[in-house]
Amino acid sequence: MPTPKLQRQVTTLWDYPSQNYGREDQGDRSYIGATPSYIIWNCLMRYTNEKDLVVDPMCGSGTTLDVCRDTNRRPLGYDVNPTRKDIFRCDARKLPLENGKVDFVFVDPPYGDNVNYSDEKGCIGKLPAYGEEYFKAMEEVIAEINRILRPDRYMALYVCDYYDKKNGFVPIGFRLYQMLSKHFSTVDIISVTRHNKTINMGNYRKAADEGNFYLRGFNYLFIMKKEGRGAPRKVGTMPELPAEKKSRPESGRGGVKPSAKGKAPVRGRSGGASSGRRGTGRRTDNHGKDKK
């Protein structure tokens, strides 16, 4: 099915017509929890320039990497459970990168434990959102993003609140925003319409109505800036690319070169080659996310 033209969003309410743009997929649409590529495309068009170094520390199926390659940005992706060879195995709390070298960070973290991404040690998707451990872990991820980001550069965090009948509502968005505000100034807060399948399923809607709770209808996109002594510059100056005409380089090309064979650029911490294994992506909670 043809997908509509890519467009920069101009209000704080973003919607996307389909999970992917163009003829090729970005990331893996069968990966439960894959970020809609339109969201990442819009962030890159506004807050980066060509050749900028873009990091996704929780890369999942690699959507950020593919959008970066489509738009001539240099991507680096990390995950505790790499699903493809161009994603480096690494915990987002200890990235093998020097301080202040990255031009943009996009991150779409687990929203508690509602999706079973993997059984890898360090997977934050194993920590329930109604417990404090999840927030402690995310505090470390956010501090690490601040460490690697250049001054005068931007980052975006995409997240959804949590609800389950037993534990009730957890305002993940507000909690993570408070953490972000300790390091960054706020550029804007975007509300992104969710198109997860369950939202339109009769039994889910009935349960929400009868049980007097709400299905998650939107994600937050927090757009933040690291203030500092970096040279101010114009961003988002690149004209829109005709996505239909571009063919993406093979996975693994176009990114930042590893410092050693199969290894991520190292700062003395672990970050080896990917196993190529795919996460189970099994959803364990019905009111959380499936497709974003």
Ligand X SMILES: C[S@@+](CC[C@H](N)C(=O)[O-])C[C@H]1O[C@@H](n2cnc3c(N)ncnc32)[C@H](O)[C@@H]1O
In the bound complex, which residue of the shown chain has the CB atom lying closest to ligand X?
60
Torsion on CA atoms 93, 96, 97, 98, rounded to nearest 10: 100
How many residues bind ligand X (CB under 6 A)? The answer is: 28
Q: Is 228 exposed, middle or buried (0-12, 13-18, 19+ CB in 10 A)?
A: exposed
- Does 122 bind ligand X (CB under 6 A)? Our answer is yes
Stretch that binds ligand X, among 13-21, 91-99, 208-216, 237-245 (CB under 6 A): 91-99
- Does 61 bind ligand X (CB under 6 A)? Our answer is yes
Q: Is 226 exposed, middle or buried (0-12, 13-18, 19+ CB in 10 A)?
A: buried
Choice from 39, 67, 76, 92 touching ligand X (CB under 6 A):
92
Choice from 22, 75, 96, 110 touching ligand X (CB under 6 A):
110
Return all residues near 72 (Cβ < 8 A) that are at least 6 apart: 50, 51, 238
Q: Which run of H or E residues covers position 183?
A: helix 172-183
Closest approach of Cβ 64 to ligand X, in Å?
A: 6
Q: Is 256 exposed, middle or buried (0-12, 13-18, 19+ CB in 10 A)?
A: middle
- Does 39 bind ligand X (CB under 6 A)? Our answer is no
- Does 34 bind ligand X (CB under 6 A)? Our answer is yes
Closest approach of Cβ 52 to ligand X, in Å?
A: 18
- Does 48 bind ligand X (CB under 6 A)? Our answer is no
Spatial contact of 223 and 190, defined as CB atoms under 8 Å apart: yes
What does the binding site for ligand X look like in residue numbers (CB under 6 A)?
Answer: 27, 31, 33-35, 57-61, 63, 78-81, 91-93, 108-110, 117-118, 122-125, 279
